[in-house]
Amino acid sequence: MTRSTERPAVTTPPTTGLDEAGALRHQLADQLAAAGHIRTPAVDKALRTVPRHAFAPEVPPQKAYANDIVATCHSDDGRITSSISAPWLQADMLEAARIQPGHRVLEIGSGGYNAALIAELVGPTGGVTTLDIDPGVTDRATRYLAQTGYDRVRVVTADAEHLPVDIVPDGGFDAILVTVDTWDLPWIDALANGGRLVAPLRLHQYTWAIGFTKHDGALHSDEPLIVCGFVAIQGAGAWDTNRRTVPGAGVHLSWEDGTPLPADQLAPALTREPFVAHTHVTVGGQQPFDALTLYLAGALPGFCRLSVDPDGDNRVQNPPPKHWPGAAIVRGPSLARLATERISDGDDGNGVYELVVHGYGPHAHLAAQEMTEQVQHWQHNHRAALCPRITIHPLADDGPTPATDDPHVYVKKHTYVTIDWPIIPGTAALLTDDKGRYLLHLRSANKPIWRPGQWALLGGNTERGETCDEAIVRELDEEIGLAIPDLTGFVTLDTLSANGSFKDRVRVYHGTLNTPAHEIELCEGIQLRWTHIEETAEMTMDPGTAAVLHAHHNAHHPPGSRDRTLPVVEVRETRDQRTRNIIGTHLVLIRDGAVLLGKRHPSSAFAPSTWHLPAGHREDMESAVTCMVREAEEETGLRIAEHDLSLVHVLDLLDPGSTIPRVGLFFAPSRWEGEPLVREPECCTEWRWWPLDVLPEPIVEYTRVALDAISRGALYTPMGWS
């Protein structure tokens, strides 16, 4: 929820003469106000008034007023089934509910104390109803509310999944607070239009306290999300984690908001060390990255949560904490999960960690790379942006289930949830001189950066907490070491995909500079150049930069300002109908009924410690047979003439989770010279002849498929397309 930097305009009552409980109550309120959880005088007064210890007589006052939960009911197996929530979270949720005197408020999940706080906020003209499924909880709440003078609160024993009709006021409740961990929000109809609903909502086992406002029959979040934990809802609304267990591995996978996938096939994958993909994205030891995991849940098909048996041999390197399952995806017999590696102590001593992805199984590198790319996408496009916006729509009783082409849509029992991830606005500087020229920047062609090898404007993305105005000043200082005093907003540049969907946004600033390019110290990139508009047609240029230059050249109005809405320049990416393929060549060397296979190095990026044919990718403009001859000599030392090679099989392969097909060409030589040697020990540790009917384990799966097809005389095999 929104944090204010100002303390509430209240006068703290003196604590002299108070009993111990009263002094502790004011001390707790002071603590919550100082931390920003209390932000209004009304909430401050309520927390200083309601005797929290009276609702938790089982514990001493010091514990009742600690900034922590107080468990009040347990199940037979020891689980907490009811509790008084942590004061900081109660304050945050009460502030988010925006309760006013005279409001009618429903609390789902009773206990008494929070209902008494709400009663203080609504005053004598308002109404409070607190509801719980457990009669033991409601009996307790009724008793303690009466003892503390809040007997005007209505206490109801019922299953919240189906609210009793007679408790909903005409026009609906002005606010609904849910104080149990809930998977769905079936209470939209019970809320007044414009009313507030605050609830700890579960999405893929992640729970956030979210404040919503009802408009046009739907709930719209408008404040930051708060990671939290609550007692699970009971009754008809209880959620199913859809958990599957990997046999013999001590590993469990849960698809709470997705379709469960088989897990038995993953057992062999977890017997080996993982493939580790580095994201180069870092977090501090005390810095949460829960927004990333929520993003991954939508961005990665088949997303699940991974947990391990804490006391067993779970075979998972750097396992996730007991109460915080890890983010994971399953790709057939392979699995990838998000993990961390400590890389330094950090300035605060709490450590700096890199987010890494561990991949397991025959396609470990592909699954890990898929997750890594999404982590990097979040880092570059969403991390410093505003919090995601969540909208909850009710499902029509007799209507169709909404289409879920958008990956960030979750269909639940009563509602469907959409999550909008704001894009970080990038910044760019359109610098001109008195001769009408533009300062352009040649980007490196040999780095994995945006628009490599192209001429572009100076600039870059905003960083966490920065405005665009601040970001462009920082970027120019970092890139050319200069401050441009007259920077003003010029246009907003939007990049659209080939089908017209939004992809990226950059705020372009205009400024003047009359320094020769050779006198400017370029700290990033290759070269600076002052360029006339006529010269740009002969340059390899970023399309967005070209669009901005022409917009400026053709403009009939002065440059923009920081205060007005900027005109928008749109540039659409070109549509490429061609499918790009990776071409690989494979040597099928058979002698006396045995085929030559190599065991790949344990740290190999592809198929570590797995048997495979001599193989490689085509380079530059070489033909497939030239590639095969080259790879055979580089890997094995064998000398083969191109005219001695025959094509014996074509494998048309689509790896799980990949969007780039692979075409494998398998060549058999009629003759060769030499004996196989290990020429690339960093890739292959040994060569060995294996009988075709007794192939080794583990072996690359598509190698097995191809050898089987070759033995049957089949020339073509599609694999992975179904």
Higher pLDDT among residues 316 and 3, named by residue: 316
559-571 burial, b for 16+ CB within 10 Å, e for fewer? bbeeeeebeebeb
Q: Which CATH superfamily is domain 429-572 in?
A: Nucleoside Triphosphate Pyrophosphohydrolase (3.90.79.10)
According to the model, what pLDDT value does residue 556 have?
60
Residue 575 — very low, low, confident or very high, per pLDDT cuts 50/70/90? low
Highest mean pLDDT among 232-241, 244-253, 562-571, 589-598 belongs to: 589-598
The residue that leads in pLDDT, 164 or 240, is 164
pLDDT of residue 636: 95
> Which position among 85, 110, 221, 254 bears the catalytic label?
85
Pick the most confident of 239-248, 444-453, 589-598, 652-661: 589-598
What are the tokens at 659? 């969007």
pLDDT at position 559: 47
> What is the average pLDDT across 370-386?
84
pLDDT class of 20 with cuts at 50, 70, 90? confident
Question: What's the pLDDT band for 11 if we cut at 50, 70, 90?
Answer: very low
Torsion of CA 130, 133, 137, 138, to 10 degrees: 50
What per-residue confidence (pLDDT) applies to 9?
A: 43
* CB-based burial label for 220 (10 Å; 0-12, 13-18, 19+): middle
- Predicted confidence band at 25 (pLDDT cuts at 50, 70, 90)? very high
Q: With 50 as the cut, is the pLDDT of residue 192 above it?
A: yes
Domain ranges of the chain: 20-227, 242-384, 391-420, 429-572, 582-719
pLDDT band at 564 (very low <50, low <70, confident <90, very high): very low
Pairing state between β 334-344 and 645-653? unpaired
User: Exposed, middle or buried, 465 (CB in 10 Å: 0-12/13-18/19+)?
Assistant: exposed
Beta pairing partners, 244: 253
* Span 99-107, average pLDDT: 97
| Residue 409: strand, helix, or coil | strand
Q: What's the one-letter identity of residue 167? A: I
Among the listed residues 257, 170, 155, 151, the one whose alpha carbon sits nearest the alpha carbon of residue 206: 257
pLDDT of residue 544 exceeding 70, the answer is yes
Tokens of 608: 């570590």
pLDDT value of position 577 = 53
Question: For the segment 194-247, what is each residue's pLDDT rounded down to a tens digit?
Answer: 999 999 999 888 888 999 999 999 999 987 788 777 778 888 888 888 999 999
Residue 31: pLDDT above 70? yes
The pLDDT of residue 499 is 56
Average pLDDT, the chain: 87
Strand partners, 293: none
Phi/psi for 538 (5° steps) reads: -95, 10
For domain 20-227, give the CATH number: 3.40.50.150
- The CA distance from 358 to 356, in Å, is 7
Rounded to whole angstroms, how far apart are CA atoms 103 and 82?
A: 26
pLDDT tens by residue, 491-528: 989 887 665 656 678 889 999 999 999 999 988 778 89
Report residue 181 as tokens.
Answer: 């961990």
- CATH fold match for the domains 20-227 and 429-572: no
Give the H/E segment covering residue 140.
helix 135-147
For residue 536, pLDDT over 60 is answered with: yes
What percent of the chain has a predicted confidence (pLDDT) above 90? 57
Query: What is the rounded CA–CA span in Å between residue 148 and residue 222?
Result: 35
Instruction: Decide if 85 is catalytic.
Output: yes
pLDDT value for 10: 42
How many whole angstroms separate alpha carbon 271 and alpha carbon 582?
Answer: 30
pTM of the model as a whole: 0.64
CATH number of this structure's domain 582-719: 3.90.79.10
